[in-house]
Structure 1
């Protein structure tokens, strides 16, 4: 058996597969996000470790984990976990959806004109490097103690093994990695006052990075397992869905939304706010468009109206509502693709005395779908096109939402078995690949054997009868951000 640990924003999930790649069991523990100030988003790394222990204990109630052969990791990208020279955490981790470092992004772009060429990406507040510049400028006492920077899943790997490591898919989201060389770039590190001494060693996602420490193994009743580097959550999700070759792609409907396509080389396209990163598997790269609030938008609205997400979706389906004049911008955490604007605001427009909760629910689903169409258009302009897409993430469990996205994108969408645990499944597959590779097996043969596309559960073809409705509404969606941008900036400046 092989265990994949997926450290997400809202929870840590453990997925166990057998040596055929079949999912045996999964368990999860919820995590909380702290927002002590506007645009801040943080988590305590100790909460990740406690969640890991809880997940292991839950899994042990269902399976004999003494049969585990390896552990692989997946995690939310970009988070800045700061450690001192003794490996102690210096402050809460600054997460991927934290928007405080916009000024530092602008300064980095101005001071280091070769940053884009070396990293292949724009400086955005979500990335790790500008977060460190913010700490340097605003928390100098913390920066003075800083010895190491780890990404969230890599902090778990450090706690498990005692060694600091990362993989090139996750590391590419820091702005310190050169995706062409798949290694740290000295010039990029120096832009934030760091050197390679502050960074973990970078591996391919299927490489073994260490062995579970004897103390942790005894404490949790686990064997001395190899720990495999793993991947950033989106690259891990791709491995879980068998999206490993150029021309393949998927959409992730998690807390954020991701439109992911595989490329045969590093294809930077920062002018269209496209992320160009390394894949978790050797000799592969990928491009992404990202919307920062996907399933989070629906969860936010459900909380606002004191309903569960399931209740909202059931009510909408029962109402048979397919069109609404309500329009929603899902920019609750700012937006990346295509605006790169951490101060963008979420909005409803078109409300009236006759507006129902069902209209607003449908508008949220459509708004997220339109944001994914923005991503599709950006990727298309970067030369990245796919004929069909797999779907993963918690939001993908809704067949109604999947159909809306198929309609809006005008694409064939495929929902596959394991789509709700994509990154965890990918992490488990990477554990299997790593353990087998360490025994002398050829990695490309292993990828072909184990990184297959899971069974198709449902296929969604676009509904042509709604084509004109979505085209017209998308045009309004695109204009709304630009028409209200100045107004939102003025609202943001109001004293509170």
Structure 2
């Protein structure tokens, strides 16, 4: 028997079929398109379903699809839309890094300060789902809003799979205000914000059953009717599960369009700046981490027609640049600090595309190190296994650079990605992994040289007032 994992990414949908023995039997990908403008980021929700169908068709080619017994779906954290009573979208999807709800975030934080502090993150960010829901109430047609339902990205696909309404998992619901410790919606708080709780789906824990695949949808996907659909997680939690980062002190760093870090803690960590937050994990553990707005997306935006793999090879043959580019493709930063007005900048002028690539890669490695500095300052254990996943982990140049900046041994599991984590969750496994690691060791001399440039990175962040003095001072101490 086998299971199907589906990852709803930013630029594509990915489907993975995994056997009971942990063998990757099939995979498929289908592209997605976005609309970005002035801090806003939207997608057409119906395009997700079209891409899911295409990706599943590719993944199951040449396989006995009747052997697939369960499916789970992950999605981007904080992505929401309004839908009618039948589940058809009436708004575009406001994506995970859409920061239009800046004013609404202030209201949400004023009203819900005690609740968010109890959840461990102190403040919600404009890109989170609850501020965006409030933005929709203020800006969408009142008549349509009053009849609408709020759906998360995974809800929309799960409803399409089972042919009816479904619950949402508490991992996905975190940024919509879910009480993490009680796994329930904060009803009095929602009343104070004038957000009708009837618009929300019920809550379940990841891995719980949501329903079964109906005959019509099964035929469309080329699967058998009756396949179990189970509640998934956010994409970073799914990647963490696929990478096997499930022991205290271990961390998984997902580098795709954006960078996300997720680790394991025995206690609930609290971040007064609100950049870090925790999900509930299996076995009473907590999964702290954060999602940056920085990432590999800047390469696609600025070097659109270049061969990025070739640039990586060329950059590896040159000395490291003496300057860096802060790697924001859009506006606003979410982790390792919260700075809604942050924008990309460069401390030098690249001579060619190779140097431009190297400067952006270096800036991203510095952002990643500052994430670890922030986590360490909050009391998180960071002494365990570090794994790199996501599209950026395929680059040998980038992986070595990141290992050298961190000064840590890193692992690259060959088949650890969000879709694999969802296939494992669908199988009922929270400990088994598909792992065949490539290990990268840091180069001590390069590490020391890069830390000198890292200190200029910290100076530049401090000058712009983006990060707290406490974080900058702690990062400097660790880099000394």
What TM-score, normalized by structure 1, do the two folds share?
0.88
Q: CA deviation at 1:221?
A: 3.4
* Equivalent pair of 1:298/1:364 in contact (CA under 8 Å): yes
Q: Which moved more, 1:119-128 or 1:423-432?
A: 119-128
Q: Answer yes or no: is 1:455 the counterpart of 2:451.
A: no
Which structure 1 residue ranges, 4+ long, deviate > 4 Å from structure 2? none
* Equivalent pair of 2:389/2:412 in contact (CA under 8 Å): yes
Structure 2 residue aligned with 1:480: 460
Question: What pairs with 1:190-339 in structure 2 (closer than 5 Å)?
Answer: 190-223=191-224, 224-271=226-273, 273-279=275-281, 281=282, 283-303=284-304, 306-317=305-316, 320-333=317-330, 334-339=332-337
* Equivalent pair of 2:404/2:444 in contact (CA under 8 Å): yes
Structure 2 residue aligned with 1:413: 410
SS in structure 1 at match of 2:34? coil
Q: Which moved more, 1:230-239 or 1:287-296?
A: 287-296
Q: Distance in 2 between matches of 1:219 and 1:145?
A: 33
Structure 2 residue aligned with 1:348: 346
Q: Distance in 1 between matches of 2:8 and 2:336?
A: 26
* Equivalent pair of 2:279/2:288 in contact (CA under 8 Å): yes
Cα deviation code 1:384-434 (max 9, x no counterpart): 122330111011001111111111112211111213xx100000001111x
Q: CA deviation at 1:131?
A: 0.3
| 136 and 118 in structure 1: CA distance in 2 versus 1, 3 angstrom threshold | farther
Number of paired residues?
Answer: 460
Q: Distance in 1 between matches of 2:104 and 2:38?
A: 17
User: Could you say what the CA RMSD is over the residues aligned between the two structures, in angstroms?
Assistant: 2.0
What TM-score, normalized by structure 2, do the two folds share?
0.91
Structure 2 residue aligned with 1:141: 142
Gaps of 5+ in 1: 434-445, 487-496
* Equivalent pair of 1:177/1:185 in contact (CA under 8 Å): yes
Which of 366, 387, 391 is residue 390 of structure 1 equivalent to? 387
Q: Distance in 2 between matches of 1:376 and 1:484?
A: 20
Cα deviation code 1:48-73 (max 9, x no counterpart): 01111111222343322122111111
Cα deviation code 1:233-265 (max 9, x no counterpart): 011111111122322211111111012111224
Which of 335, 354, 358 is residue 358 of structure 1 equivalent to? 354
| 469 and 201 in structure 1: CA distance in 2 versus 1, 3 angstrom threshold | same
| 222 and 297 in structure 1: CA distance in 2 versus 1, 3 angstrom threshold | same
* Equivalent pair of 1:261/1:286 in contact (CA under 8 Å): yes
| 290 and 87 in structure 1: CA distance in 2 versus 1, 3 angstrom threshold | closer
Q: Distance in 1 between matches of 2:31 and 2:193?
A: 33
* Equivalent pair of 2:274/2:338 in contact (CA under 8 Å): no
Q: Distance in 2 between matches of 1:148 and 1:282?
A: 32
* Equivalent pair of 1:80/1:149 in contact (CA under 8 Å): yes
Q: Answer yes or no: is 1:154 the counterpart of 2:155.
A: yes
Q: CA deviation at 1:30?
A: 0.6
SS in structure 2 at match of 1:77? coil
Q: Distance in 2 between matches of 1:53 and 1:135?
A: 29
Q: CA deviation at 1:227?
A: 0.2
